[in-house]
Amino acid sequence: MGLFRTGLAGFGAYKLGGGCLGTIVVFVLLYWLLGYAGCA
């Protein structure tokens, strides 16, 4: 499930992130939210 969570966070960061730093911030935020919510 960790790989699915990482992939989902990566995909969201790729779509929502504006640049290099923005993508990293969005990735970390989505990864944390998915883990916090227990979705994956």
Q: pLDDT digit string (tens) for 1-40?
A: 678 888 888 888 888 877 888 888 889 998 998 887 776 5
Q: Are 1 and 37 in contact (CB under 8 A)?
A: no
Write out the residue range of the structural domain in which residue 6 sits. 2-37
Predicted local distance difference test score (pLDDT) of residue 39: 61
Residue 13 CB: number of other CB atoms within 10 A? 19
Number of structural domains the chain divides into: 1
Tokens linked to 19: 């640049």
Predicted local distance difference test score (pLDDT) of residue 3: 84
Task: Supply the pTM of this predicted model.
Answer: 0.69
Please give the Cα distance from 24 to 39 (Å, whole number): 20
